[in-house]
Amino acid sequence: MKKWFVLMAICLAFAQVGSAQIKMNGFVRPYTAVNLHAPNNYMIMEEKASITTTLSGSDARGVFVLDTWYHHLTQTANWDLTEAYVDLFFENADLRIGKQQVVWGKADGIPINDIVCPWNLQDFILQDFDDIRIGLNMVKANYYFSFVNLEALWIPKFHPMELAQSGPWVFSLPDTLNLPLETPGGLDNLPVSISYHQPVLPADKLGNSEFGFRLYGFNLGFDWALSYLDAWDDVPALSEKQLYASLTPAGMVPDSIGIWQAYNRMKMVGFNFSRPVLTGVLRAEGGYFTGKQFGLDGINLDSTGATIGPFSVTKPYAQYMVGWDQNWKSWLNLSGQYIEQRILDYDTAIQNDEINRLVSLLVRGGFMNETLQYQILALGNLDYEDALMRTMLTYNYSDGVRLILGADFLIAGKNSTTFRQFDFGRFDQNDNAYLKVIYSF
C-alpha cells in the first residue's frame, strides 16, 4: 500500500503545477450468470464498482482506477488498484510510471504481439477486456519523431497468468496416469497417482526484469508497428517428472508420479499493420518466438526406476493472423480472422500439435440510433474442432444506464492433454446466460 500513497503524492504534487483539475468517473455493475445445463446452478453473482480518478496539471497527469467486487456465491469481497500511474509530458516525449495496461497488436481477442500484460482467466476468456488484462508496474516512455514513434518499456517484476483455482473455470489436470506394466498375464495398465508441484516464480532481481521496444507510425495509409519483447513466458512449462516406485516380490512397481513446472525466458519479434482496402480494412499481425519450452510425451525410466530426461524441449514457433473488417450499414458490421501457430523444427514427441489454427467471426450492429445493439462472436479451432459462440444484446436505456443480456455456448471437440489458452471444449458444460446492468457516473 505504501507505494500507492507515494504515487498519489507524486501525482498531487504535479497537479499543483499550473491549473490543477480533478475528475472522477466510474460505474457500478451487477452481474449474474446461470448455467444452461441442469441443475442450472448460478455461475456468477457479483457486483463490481469501479472509480477512476484523474488529476491533471499543465505537464503531468495521474490516473488511479480502483475496482471492488462482492461475490455472493462465496460471500467474499476484494479490491484492487487495477491501474495507478503518473504521466509526465515533454515537448517530443512522454513518460508513464506505475501500474498500467499495455496493448500491442491488431488481432481481436487473440494475443500475438499483445503479450506484455498477462491475462486473468478466473472466468476463462469471457470477461471484459478491461478485466482480463492484468496491469503491471512498469516504466513506459514514448519519443515522437517526424515520421515514426518509438516506445520503450521496462517491467521490474514478473507476474504470471492467473488461472481459476476453484469453481467452474478450473483448468483441471488428471490426477492419475495409466502406465504400461508387464504382468504374468501380459501387458497391463497400472493407474499411478500424480502430484503437481507449484512453479517457483523468478527471483526479484534486475536480471530477471522484462523489457521491450515498439516502433510504430502511420505512413502511406498503413497503421503499422514493429515490436520486440524480452520477457518470461506467462505459462510454466514442464521441467521435471519423477517416478516413485516401491520394491515388491514382483520387482519395482510404480506407485506415484511427481511433476514440476518452471517459468522460462522468451523473446518475441513481431509486426502488425492495418490499411483501408476498397470498402474494408485489411489487418495482419505476426510474431516469431524463441525460448518456448514444450513438454514431451512419455515417462522414461533408467535401470533403477528413476526418470531420465529430457522432459521438455526448446523450440521456436511462429504465430500470425490475417483479418478483414467490413462495415456495410449501421446494423451490419463484419470482422473475420484467421490465426495460425506453427512450431518450427518440430519433434513428434512434443505434446502440442505442430500446427494449431483458429478462425473467428464477429458480427455486430445497432438499431434505433444505437439504442439497441447486438454482437455475435464465434471462435473455432480447426484442429481440435471445438468452438465458442458469444451472443450479446445491449439496450442503452440512457447515457448512464445500460442493460446487457447475453449467452455463451462452448462446443466440445477433440480432447486436449496440454494447456491451451483457448480450450473451449474443456468447458463444454459451462454454457451460460447472463445479465449485466451498468450504471455509469
pLDDT per residue as tens digits for the range 192-231 = 788 888 888 999 999 999 999 999 999 999 999 999 999 9
- Which three-class secondary structure state does DSSP give residue 382? coil
**Closest of 234, 119, 108, 217 to residue 169, by C-alpha:** 119
Who's near 217: CB < 8 A, 6+ residues apart?
147, 148, 149, 224, 225
The stretch 312-331 carries a mean pLDDT of 94
Which of the four CATH numbers 1.10.287, 3.40.50, 3.30.70, 2.40.160 does domain 101-440 have? 2.40.160
Q: Is the pLDDT of residue 416 over 80?
A: no
Least confident of 180-194, 239-253, 399-413: 239-253
pTM for the model stands at: 0.88
The stretch 341-346 carries a mean pLDDT of 97
pLDDT of residue 6: 47
Q: Which helix (H) or strand (E) holds 8?
A: helix 2-15
Q: Is the pLDDT of residue 244 over 50?
A: yes
For 307, which DSSP code? B
Cα–Cα distance, 355 to 280 (Å, whole number): 29
Q: Is the pLDDT of residue 184 over 70?
A: no
Mean pLDDT taken over the chain: 89
* Phi and psi torsions of 140, nearest 5°: -130, 130
* 39 confidence band (pLDDT: 50, 70, 90): very high
